[in-house]
Structure 1
Amino acid sequence: MNNKHSIITKLAFLSVSLMVTSAYAIQGSLPQLKAALHISQTQSEYLVTTPSFAVMIFVVLSPLIQEWFHISDKKIIMTGVTIVGLAGIVPMFVDNYLTILISRLILGAGYGLYNSQAISMISVWYDGSERAQMLGWRAAAEQIGQACTLTIAGLFLSFAGWHGSFAVYFFAFLVLLFFAIRVPDDSKAQDDHVEEDNLAAELTESDSKEITKISPVVYLLVLFAFLLVVDYVGMENRFPGLAVAINGNHYTGSSMFLSLMLIGATLGGICYGAIQKRLGFGTVYLGLGLMALSNFLFGFAGHNFALMVIGLLLIGFPLQLVSPLIFNLLPDLAPANRQPLVTSLCLIGFNFGSFFSPSIAKWTNHLLGQPTSGMGLAAPFPVYGVALLVIALIIFFATRHNAKQAQ
């Protein structure tokens, strides 16, 4: 059996996360797709967003499929990556919009089938600071994967047209081979006791007891995940409109700054393990504080474009401090054989947050009496900042209450 502590095996664990965000790889080819297939802008955008619908469905079905067919995490991850590779390359060979749309739906099913298992398998095999480090690296791998697949698909687009951009999904088969060879089978590990690192003891008193059922804290973490992504995706979506409102209708530099967001998010994922080792549960306060600061800079920047960009670039780093912490808490809040389920629930929270972010931002604008255009696009973010600080206070007083009861 391969040594789980070796750097090569760890890279194999992380490699599958490189493809999770590859649905966005074809964004650069949408104008060519639109022209070639004679479709509307909205129809072309559905080719990017459709996978997320399937992800939300299959992230729920995945642990049920595992239970029904007694499939290990490793095998279902390999199945999901195979589906991503096969469905991803279909548009290379067809010119029919409906066929391509269906292939993108199946692509999302592949993501949903293995996304939660890619996280829960790390929780099964690793513990303590090593688990925290691996979860942080996994979050960074998603950002790196999105940046790399976007770049590679763009290169293919430049010399092979829009059909060629879909060749980026051939990399799924390389990932599949690497993962299959290096990652040990997890069927035994799922029956073993997973050592607790007591991070979740600050939220629940179950640290001294054997974990036999799912803690209610899991459902609070799902809501927490939802709110975090509402904020992050909302800022990402509204920055281009604000950039044009400040710099004029001919401004086209938004994509560069949005790409730089990924660097901040990648750094957050890479640094998460070291920061969590030093601060422990205090990492959540650092993350929420920095996210709130980012929202205030972005929301109160007005026509100061540089200040707005600073707020934009800052938000990715703390997000990747808080989101791995959510997954790092789960092994102490549910038994090992329920890890795929609770991980799936948190992923649903993240996906729903992404999906509903535009609507929640719009509702916030209406509540504040601000237009959903021009500089009014920045209105929701000070509200989000205050909400993050309120959440931090609630967590602080809740953990103090639990600590007093435990004495």
Structure 2
Amino acid sequence: MNNKNSMVTKLAFLSVSFMVTSAYAIQGSLPQLKAALGISQPQSEYLVTTPSFAVMIFVVLSPLLQQWFNISDKKIIMTGVTIVGIAGLVPMFISNYTIILISRLILGAGYGLYNSQAISLISVWYQGETRAQMLGWRAAAEQIGQACTLAVAGLLLNYAGWHASFLVYAFAFVVLFFFAMRVPDDSKAQDNSVAEDNLAEELTNEESQEITKISPVVYLLVLFAFLLVVDYVGMENRFPGLSVAINGEQYTGSSMFLSLMLIGATLGGICYGPINKLLGFGTVYLGLGLMALSNFLFGFAGHNFVLMVIGLLLIGFPLQLVSPLIFNLLPDLAPANRQPLVTSLCLIGFNFGSFFSPTIGQWTNNLLGQPLSGLGLAAPFPVYGVVLILIGIIIFFASRHAQKA
């Protein structure tokens, strides 16, 4: 069996996360897809977020399917990555919105089959600072994958049209080969004991002891994950439309800036381990503060494209400080044999937020009386920024109350 601590084996484990966020690779193509297919702004955004709906279903079904068919973690992950590659390529040959939407649902099913296993395996193979580091690297791998697939899809869009941008999903087969070659077919690395990081104690105020049941804090983390992704995905989806509104109908440079945004997100994932070691639970306040600032810059930019881009580039870094923290808290909030379940619940929160981001954005526009076109697309983000600040205040006082109890 390959040494789990070797860098190549670690990269093999992380490689499957490279494709997890590739549903967003076509964001730069949304204005062209909207025009070519004759669809509305929310319909075009759902081409990006619909895979998240299938993910929510299949992160629940995946452990059941694995048990029913007696499939190892490695094989279920390989099956999911294969589905991603096949379903992702279908829109290259189709111009029908309904069929493309169905293919995106199947794409999401592929992500859902293996997403929770890719995360929970880290929690059971690695402990302590190594686990925090690997979870940060996993978040970075997602952002590197999204940046690479966005950049490649953008190049394909510029040179060969929106159909060709879906060729980017061929990367799945490269990932599949590397994972198959390097990762051992053995998921039973856990010894039913997981080292505690004591981060959750700030929320639960419990003494170190054997964990026997799922803490209610898990469900708050699910809601937290939902709200974070509503904001993040909404900004990604609306940036191309705002770019066209500011720079003109022929503008196709959105993919480049979306890729640059993910460099910040990658740095956030890489820096999570050291920052978490320095600040502990204070990492969440840093992340929420920077995300709120990003929303205010983006939402109040108006015709100032540079200011809008600064807001966009900033948001990825703090998100990747907060999202690994959520997963890093889970081993202290549930017993080891329930880790796949609580990981799946948090993934459902993230994906539920992603899927409903267009609808929540539309509701916010309607509430504010702003149009779903032009600069009106930026209207929800100052509201999101205020919500993030309120969440930070609530967490602060809740943790202080728990410490005094």
Asked if these proteins are the same fold (TM beyond 0.5), I'd say: yes
Counterpart in the other structure of 1:348 = 348
Q: Map of 1:217-296 to 2, 5 A cutoff?
A: 217-247=217-247, 251-296=251-296
Aligned-pair distance for 1:367? 3.2
- 1:182–1:250: structure 2 CA closer, same or farther, 3 Å change rule? closer
Counterpart in the other structure of 2:56 = 56
- In the alignment, the residues of structure 2 paired with residue 96 and residue 247 of structure 1 have an alpha-carbon distance, to the nearest angstrom, of 27
Counterpart in the other structure of 1:137 = 137
The code of the aligned residue for 1:204 comes to: T
The code of the aligned residue for 2:113 comes to: L
> Which of 41-50 and 292-301 deviates more?
41-50
- In the alignment, the residues of structure 1 paired with residue 120 and residue 63 of structure 2 have an alpha-carbon distance, to the nearest angstrom, of 11
- 1:30–1:353: structure 2 CA closer, same or farther, 3 Å change rule? closer
> Which of 194-203 and 166-175 deviates more?
166-175
- 1:403–1:69: structure 2 CA closer, same or farther, 3 Å change rule? farther
Aligned-pair distance for 1:245? 4.5
1:19 aligns with 2:19: yes
- In the alignment, the residues of structure 2 paired with residue 293 and residue 394 of structure 1 have an alpha-carbon distance, to the nearest angstrom, of 18
Q: Map of 1:354-393 to 2, 5 A cutoff?
A: 354-393=354-393
Counterpart in the other structure of 1:113 = 113
The code of the aligned residue for 1:73 comes to: D
Aligned-pair distance for 1:250? 5.6
- In the alignment, the residues of structure 2 paired with residue 375 and residue 31 of structure 1 have an alpha-carbon distance, to the nearest angstrom, of 15
Render the CA deviation track for 1:119-145: whole Å, top value 9, x for unaligned. 111111112121111111111111211
- In the alignment, the residues of structure 1 paired with residue 71 and residue 198 of structure 2 have an alpha-carbon distance, to the nearest angstrom, of 29
1:6 aligns with 2:15: no
- In the alignment, the residues of structure 2 paired with residue 200 and residue 20 of structure 1 have an alpha-carbon distance, to the nearest angstrom, of 27
TM-score (norm 2): 0.87
Gaps in structure 2 of 5+ consecutive residues = none
Counterpart in the other structure of 2:300 = 300
- In the alignment, the residues of structure 2 paired with residue 161 and residue 255 of structure 1 have an alpha-carbon distance, to the nearest angstrom, of 13
Render the CA deviation track for 1:98-137: whole Å, top value 9, x for unaligned. 7665544332211110011111111111121211111111
CA contact (8 A) 1:290 1:315 kept: yes
Q: Percent identity?
A: 84
Counterpart in the other structure of 2:330 = 330
CA contact (8 A) 1:56 1:112 kept: yes
Render the CA deviation track for 1:346-385: whole Å, top value 9, x for unaligned. 1111112122222222323333344444444333222221
The code of the aligned residue for 1:237 comes to: N
Render the CA deviation track for 1:286-339: whole Å, top value 9, x for unaligned. 100111111222233344333222222111110111111111111111122222
CA contact (8 A) 1:191 1:337 kept: no
- In the alignment, the residues of structure 1 paired with residue 163 and residue 352 of structure 2 have an alpha-carbon distance, to the nearest angstrom, of 30
Aligned-pair distance for 1:388? 1.0
- In the alignment, the residues of structure 2 paired with residue 164 and residue 250 of structure 1 have an alpha-carbon distance, to the nearest angstrom, of 18
- In the alignment, the residues of structure 2 paired with residue 249 and residue 225 of structure 1 have an alpha-carbon distance, to the nearest angstrom, of 35
Aligned-pair distance for 1:24? 3.8
> Which of 45-54 and 221-230 deviates more?
45-54
- In the alignment, the residues of structure 2 paired with residue 143 and residue 126 of structure 1 have an alpha-carbon distance, to the nearest angstrom, of 21
Counterpart in the other structure of 2:205 = 205
Aligned-pair distance for 1:240? 3.6
Paired residue secondary structure (2:271):
helix
- In the alignment, the residues of structure 2 paired with residue 248 and residue 169 of structure 1 have an alpha-carbon distance, to the nearest angstrom, of 29
Counterpart in the other structure of 1:321 = 321
Gaps in structure 1 of 5+ consecutive residues = none
Q: Map of 1:70-89 to 2, 5 A cutoff?
A: 70-89=70-89
- 1:75–1:26: structure 2 CA closer, same or farther, 3 Å change rule? same
Counterpart in the other structure of 1:196 = 196
CA contact (8 A) 2:136 2:269 kept: yes
Aligned-CA RMSD value:
3.1
Paired residue secondary structure (1:193):
coil
> Which of 193-202 and 249-258 deviates more?
249-258
- In the alignment, the residues of structure 2 paired with residue 228 and residue 219 of structure 1 have an alpha-carbon distance, to the nearest angstrom, of 14
CA contact (8 A) 1:190 1:337 kept: no
The code of the aligned residue for 1:402 comes to: A
The code of the aligned residue for 1:312 comes to: L
Counterpart in the other structure of 1:311 = 311
Counterpart in the other structure of 1:404 = 404
- In the alignment, the residues of structure 2 paired with residue 399 and residue 79 of structure 1 have an alpha-carbon distance, to the nearest angstrom, of 42
- In the alignment, the residues of structure 1 paired with residue 71 and residue 203 of structure 2 have an alpha-carbon distance, to the nearest angstrom, of 32
Render the CA deviation track for 1:153-212: whole Å, top value 9, x for unaligned. 566678888776655444333322322332344543244311111111111134512112
- In the alignment, the residues of structure 2 paired with residue 238 and residue 157 of structure 1 have an alpha-carbon distance, to the nearest angstrom, of 18
Aligned-pair distance for 1:72? 3.9
Q: How many residues align?
A: 402
